[in-house]
Structure 1
């Protein structure tokens, strides 16, 4: 069952790629260099996007709304468990 409150639009992803900030960098990722970006949706929700630059394009690996239990209030810092 889908949850409309968790849906992320392609326009939100594009906005984060254009205006967001890189909060984690993964240069040694087994799939190739990638990074975690943080931005806000058009309605203000925090969203994380994991992407990987390729020669001819930017691969979007995943996008999600960060869990408050796993991230500090600013959504930039992971909470150690």
Structure 2
């Protein structure tokens, strides 16, 4: 289990205590998502995968939805100051994802 919780994410977003990695921002633009859409999704997110042993530091995959009900996956971690960092952003789609909650099994 990681120390990153939905409550931590929500508080960091509401306080504007977060950063977006260059990679996450590039992916956000590619997915045609606004910062406001990301923030909304993160204030109502749920953790669907945890990565406590990631060599770059603990992180987790969260699922949130835009106001248009579009699912968004965001990998979240903590920066060196202990604040939220958005590592990557994408829309969960086939073939990798069966639905927003479930990975497709590898053959």
TM interval, short-chain normalised = 0.7 to 0.9
Stretches of 4+ moved more than 3 A in 1? Answer: none
Q: Give the TM-score, by structure 2 length.
A: 0.64
Partner of 1:61: 87
Tell me, in whole angstroms, the C-alpha distance in 1 between the residues paired with 2:32 and 2:102. 23
What TM-score comes out, normalization by structure 1 length? Answer: 0.82
Shift of 1:5: 8.0
Q: Give the length in aligned residue pairs.
A: 77
Distance across 2 between alignment mates of 1:51 and 1:45:
19
Distance 1:38 1:64 in 2: 10
Hey, which of these two has a bigger chunk of helix by percent?
2
Which residue in 2 is equivalent to 1:49?
Answer: 74
Q: Equivalent residue of 1:23, what SS?
A: strand
Aligned partner (choices 3, 7, 10) of residue 35 of structure 2? 10
Distance 1:71 1:26 in 2: 18
Q: Residue 33 of structure 1 is aligned with which of 30, 36, 58?
A: 58
